Each structure stands twice: as structure tokens, then as C-alpha cells.
Amino acid sequence: MKIGFFDSGVGGISVLYQALKIMPNEDYLYYADTEHVPYGVKNKEEVKSYVLEAADFIVSQGVKALVVACNTATSIAIDDLRARYDLPVLGMEPAVKPAVCRLKGMACNKRVLVTATPMTIKEKKLQHLLHQWDQKHIVDLLPLPKLVTLAEAGVFTGEEVDNYLQEVLAPFHLKDYCTVVLGCTHFNFFKDGISRFFDDDAVIIDGSLGTVCYLERILYERGLKEKNDGQIEFYCSGQLVSGAKQQFYQSLLQRLEQLDN
């Protein structure tokens, strides 16, 4: 049986990449809701309906687990999804806890910058994380909606990316930050570009690896781990993709591998 991965677009491929590294012998189904991307600037109820429709399709394909590889979709619909299906449903959340805990014991006045979509920043899930872990109020929030659009277009480097990052980061004193949280899976493709704006000792983190390690543990505990061929089926809003679109998705996995090295 396959493991289902879902995102509004290409961002969740960065989570799929971590899964392929840790569990190369599992088979995967990746679903990008390209008809409705981006989610982060839309109405909450509208996005929830898209998520439920996509998840119903993925589950109908006989997956053994569902990873909502999208912070926005997780913040809006994860409880509904877990109540809807009798299988493991995992989501994403901005890595606020590890970012804040990293500063404990450090004799400095550094801060944490959490980047996300506008909707993730507004939703209760992130606000709850901040209330729970950011008692010293060292976290600042920055929406980066254009990075989603750029990622969907396959534009990860160049003048347009650099100019946008320079514009949105201009109000911040960047030397104050020792940790940057990528709270949208689309942003993982821009890790190298973002890092150039911060000091060399600043760390950029996201929740992808933690989610995949938890997935592996759940599969092991439930006896669901398998030895297959590591095959991936890609879907765009319910349509199986092949040809140039499939090659594009494969190229994204290759870019993530390059960023790792």
C-alpha cells in the first residue's frame, strides 16, 4: 500500500523528499491541488472544502497513511481529517518549539523569525504554539505569500526571488536573528536564497524531518512498514500526471538533494 502525501502544490515534495531518504522502500502517492493553489491567501472555509475533497480522493486510492504536507491545510483541517478517516493522518506545523528551545541557555539576545503563509499566521494553531513556547516573546512573524507563487512556477533563484526577499526582510534587523523557521513547505526550496540574508551562524529549520520520523514510527508501531520499490505516483487535482509534469516534479526532488549537499 502507498503512503499518501498532500499539498496545495509543490511544497509538500520537500516532505516527500525526506520520506524517500528515510523510507526508500515504501511506495508513495503525491497529490498537488494545482487547481486551487495557493491556499494561504484564500478563505478558510473554501480551503477546507478543497482539502477534504483532495483527501477523499487520496484515501479512495487505498493509502495506508496520509501526510498533510502543508502547514496551511494542517492548521485549517487536520482535526476534521483525523475524525473522517480510520488511518494515520499526520500534519505539519511551524517548528516554533525547537527554534525557541535552541535559544535556551544561550547567553545572547537573539530572536526567532517564523515565516509562513498569511493564513497560517492568522490561524489558532500557530497562535497556540506561540502561547505555549514563546513566553519571552522572542518570535517575530513574517508572511511570504509570493514564494508560493514563485515555487509553483519553478522559479527558485534569480533577481525576482532576491528582490522579493530583500523587500520583505528590509524592515527587520537581520543580525538579531539566530534561527529562521520555514513555516510553509514551499519555502524549503528557497533555503539557500533565504540563508544569504542572515549571519553565517543563523540556522534555518523546518518541520519536514520531524514529521517523517514520526510517520516512520507510526508505521512501525502499527505493523504497516513494507518493502516495495519506492515508486511515486503524482496527481494534480485528481488527475494522474506523466510526461513533462512528472519530470518537473522529479526535478524538484533533485533540487532538494542539491540543497542537502
Give pLDDT, residue 250. 94
pLDDT digits (tens, 9 = 90+) for 156-186: 999 999 999 999 999 999 999 999 999 999 9
Q: Is 184 a catalytic residue?
A: yes
**pLDDT for 47-61, tens place per residue?**
999 999 999 999 999
Identified catalytic residue from 178, 184, 213, 236: 184
Q: Give pLDDT tens digits for 63-78.
A: 999 999 999 999 999 9
DSSP labels, 74-130: HHHHHHHHHHH-SS-EE-----HHHHHHHHTT--S--EEEEEE-HHHHHSHHHHHHH
pLDDT of residue 107: 61
The CA distance from 198 to 112, in Å, is 12
Please state the length of the chain: 261
Domain topology for 2-92+208-260:
Rossmann fold (3.40.50)
Alpha-carbon distance 54 to 63, whole Å?
13
Residues of the chain with CATH 3.40.50.1860: 2-92+208-260, 96-205
pLDDT in tens, 240-254: 998 999 999 999 999
Q: What topology does CATH give the domain 96-205?
A: Rossmann fold (3.40.50)
Residue 70 is a catalytic residue = yes
